[in-house]
Amino acid sequence: MTIAVIAGHAGGAGSEFALSCDLRFASRERAIFTQMEVGVGLIPGAGAVQHLTRLMGRSRALEVMLSADDYPADLAERYGWINRALPDAELVPFVDALARRIAKFPAGGIADTKRRVNEVALPSRDAVAEDRNVFAALLARPETKARLAALFAGGMQTDSPLEAAFGAAVGQLDPIAGEDAGDA
């Protein structure tokens, strides 16, 4: 059983890591979620397309992925991205108590329930692999490379203001010459 506790920014692969966990709980005051890949010309390539669509439904998943914006914990909770948003002071005690409660139950019941739910709700490995392959192909596009270079120059993957408001930064990127909007 895996439980994610998010008390900061979970964007891109960080969000996808949390989505791969069985349960997700977040700080109401500090957690921010982003799937920003479309803003740089990519698709989420590590499971978010599959997981968010199943968790949120098609329209909300499209909103999240196509907006490439930041989502606070309360909205992420309403959309189904996370199980619950809790006040920061209650987050760890709540998750600790839940984990301890679950740990008291017979392991067979936990394992079999998780297996059956996974069979119903999780995407196939082939579906996730296809998303990864599309992501890799999109990395070769000149407009994607230019957008990523601009974000790295602005502080991407550092402790920077850009990272603190990643969705806003992606939304402020200027169109790159030769960019094609594709089939919108």
Residues with catalytic roles: 16, 37
Question: Which 3 state secondary structure label does DSSP give 94?
Answer: helix
- Single-letter amino acid code for the residue at 146: A
Phi, psi of 32 (to 5 degrees): -135, 140
Q: Are 166 and 143 in contact (CB under 8 A)?
A: no
- Give me the numbers of helices (H) and strands (E) for the chain, helices first please: 10, 6
Tell me whether residue 86 is exposed, middle or buried, using C-beta atoms within 10 angstroms of its C-beta: 0 to 12, 13 to 18, 19 or more: buried
